[in-house]
Copies of this chain bind each other. A is one copy, B any other.
Amino acid sequence: MPTAGAGSLGHRVPDLGALELLLAVARLGSLGGAARELGITQPAASSRIRSMERQLGVALVDRSPRGSRLTDAGALVTDWARRIVEAAEAFDVGAQALRDRRDSRLRVAASMTIAEYLLPGWLLALRAQRPDTAVSLHAGNSTVVAERLLSDEADLGFVEGLSVPTGLDSVVIAHDRLIVVTAPGHPWARRRRPLAAGELASTPLILREKGSGTRQVLDAALGGLARPLIELSSTTAVKAAAVSGAGPSVLSELAVGEELAMRRLVSVPVEGVALARDLRAVWPTGHRPTGPARDLLSLTRG
């Protein structure tokens, strides 16, 4: 379920190059300087910023013969732009790792949730530390991760299941919790007293399909009783349905961080249900990670 207003974003939002340029201008205080940094000419930068201002209908930059500073609106726009660029950086580092390169110095296998939400951040941090470590990424469920590690197709794995596959050593790197969320309008959103397990089990919920990691943990915690209101096949579809007010849902804390911060969803306290699960780094028994794998591992644990 996409947001309402159709009409292609691509025509209303400046492209990534323009946003990067704007950030550079903000940082350097000069169009020409920003141009130099991005390896284009000054007129190109000038024209690009100008056309961005035309597109948005807002003056972004105060030009003077001694440099350029952001207007108030420009500062705000730049902050919003930064969020797009950061998401793009995460995309970039992830996509680069997805290309199978046989010569990669670090081959990672990870479960979907971890690959989706956590890995890009780690890879960015890793690249900051060791810029020339080539990383390759393979995403799959716990079984796939175990296979790749045991057949020496991966150097380090990440899993989120309840148990550790045999033949692997592991260390807990983070604790994920499933949390009950609703749209802000829902009656549960105003609850002060925590929800009892029975109430949760007897209420139809928006859920991932059976077999997903999230669903497994929830079913285990409730004793296989979770009643689906709708079953959807992606975390994002579930989130969208919950945000739109279709009903309560149970989702990984990782998946809903932003929605909670923006109050598009609110968390409902629960008691008497074990909704925590460990996220673990794994490797073949005895083969303690070394080199780049050790670097990445240490990043994930802080």
User: What residues make up the interface of A, taking CB atoms closer than 8 Å to B?
Assistant: 2-6, 8-13, 15-17, 20, 23, 27, 37-39, 56-58, 72-73, 75-77, 79-92, 94-96, 98-99, 112, 115-118, 120-122, 124-125, 127-128, 131, 139-140, 174, 184-185, 189-190, 234-236, 244, 254, 257-258, 261-264, 266, 299-302
Contact = CB atoms under 8 A, between A and B. Distances in A.
B127 A5 contact: yes
A8 B17 contact: yes
Closest 10 CB pairs of A and B: A121-B262, A10-B17, A184-B302, A57-B99, A84-B87, A80-B91, A83-B87, A10-B16, A79-B116, A257-B261
14 contacts: A8-B20, A9-B20, A10-B15, A10-B16, A15-B16, A75-B234, A76-B98, A76-B112, A79-B235, A84-B87, A118-B262, A124-B264, A190-B302, A257-B261
Interface hub of A58, A88, A90, A254 (most chain B Cβ within 10 A)? A88
A132 to B, nearest CB: 10
B13 A92 contact: yes
Nearest to A101: B57
Give the number of times this chain occurs in the complex, counting copies: 2
Contact of A56 (B99, B122, B174): B99
Contacts of A11: 17
A184 to B, nearest CB: 3
B16 A95 contact: no
B4 A128 contact: yes
B76 A80 contact: no
Nearest to A15: B15
A140 B72 contact: yes
A3 B124 contact: yes
B115 A76 contact: yes
Nearest to A140: B72
A131 B4 contact: yes
A272 B50 CA distance: 50
A263 B174 contact: yes
B258 A85 contact: no
Given A3-B127, A84-B91, A120-B262, 11 more contacts: A2-B27, A4-B127, A8-B20, A9-B16, A9-B89, A13-B88, A79-B116, A86-B87, A174-B263, A190-B302, A254-B261
Contacts of A299: 184, 263
A16 B13 contact: yes
A20 B8 CA distance: 8
A95 B121 contact: no
A3 B82 contact: no
A121 B8 CA distance: 19
Contacts of A5: 127, 131
Contacts of A264: 121, 124-125
Contact of A120 (B80, B120, B121, B190): B80
